[in-house]
Amino acid sequence: MIKAIFFDLDDTLYDSTRLARMARIAALEGMINEGLPVSRNEGWKLLNVIVREKGSNFPNHLDLLSQKILGYKDYKILTAGIVAYHNTKFANLKPFGDTVPTLIALRQMGKKLGIITNGKATKQWEKILRLQLEHFFDGVYISEEEGVEKPSREIFCNAISSFDVEPMESIMVDDKGQDLAGAKLCGMVTVLRMRHMRVAADYVIENLSELLGIVGELDGK
């Protein structure tokens, strides 16, 4: 019987990829409107190169964009980008349509729920709180706080241990197959939320609501 379900956060409970794109486009527009001398197409190409080189969690993408184009950091232009980025992010940060109904249904089934996610603790907690999802979860495990990142099996095993359940009594839901590999090594049932590509997992779903049928099946109902 399944006793606990753990979820990744980004692109599993909400559309992180779409939100990041929207916010970066808005930031670029804001900077151009304040005088950044670059076309939208060229600015977008440069910004994407910076994101690829530095990673999506790097905090100073816009600083580097200003420096690449101007040769120095223009604080007015930079601030315009930051304001536009955060205004767009906060206005559009919402769970997937089936996230809350699925979490409610799982709680009604008596399941413990948790989040296992990589990233900076303050950034991930900000997302959880702004999404208004914190009250659904019995535990949140963020790589910065745990001292270990997915796909290491350690972060999954630690979460299971704190929930006082056996690995085979737990499910990990993620949109990244490489992260699910660590959950599988720990002995968890793995569910891939397939939005981009199909990879190895015990179950593959497109919508989070499909998880309810999987839990029912594993519970023998």
pLDDT tens by residue, 170-187:
999 999 888 999 999 999
In a shared domain, residues 155 and 189 = yes
Nearest to 14 by CA among 97, 89, 91, 86: 97
Q: 103 and 182 share a domain?
A: yes
Same domain, 68 and 102: no
For residues 93 and 15, what is the distance between their CA atoms, to the nearest angstrom?
8
Q: DSSP letter at 14? A: B
Mean pLDDT, residues 124-130 taken together: 96
Instruction: Look at residues 38, 70, 92 and tell me which one is the last residue of a structural domain.
Output: 92
Residues 105 and 211 in one domain: yes
The neighbour count for residue 65, using CB atoms within 10 Å, is: 26
Q: Which of 123, 97, 154, 141 is nearest to 7 (CA)?
A: 141
| Residue where one domain finishes, among candidates 44, 67, 92 | 92
Is pLDDT above 60 for 168? Answer: yes
DSSP structural state of residue 194: -
Query: Could you tell me the CATH number of the domain that includes residue 142?
Result: 3.40.50.1000
Q: List the beta bridge partners of residue 189.
A: 171
CA distance 170 to 162: 12
Does 115 share its domain with 80? no
Domain boundary among 41, 69, 92: 92
Residues 101 and 186 in one domain: yes
Which tokens sit at 66? Answer: 């200003």
Same domain for 149 and 181 = yes
> How many residues would you count in the chain?
221
Domain count, the chain: 2
Residues 10, 115, single domain; the answer is: yes
Q: What is the pLDDT of residues 6-54, one digit of tens each?
A: 999 999 999 999 999 999 999 999 999 999 999 999 999 999 999 999 9
What is the reported pTM?
Answer: 0.90
State whether residue 117 is helix, strand or coil: strand
**Domain, as residue range, for 41:** 17-92
Please check whether residues 147 and 211 belong to one and the same domain.
Answer: yes
Which residues neighbour 123 within 8 Å (Cβ) at sequence distance 6 or greater?
57
Place of tokens 């704190």: 162
Report how far residue 219's alpha carbon sits from residue 106's, in angstroms, rounded to the nearest whole number.
12
CATH code of the domain containing 62: 1.10.150.520
**Do 86 and 110 fall within a single domain?**
no
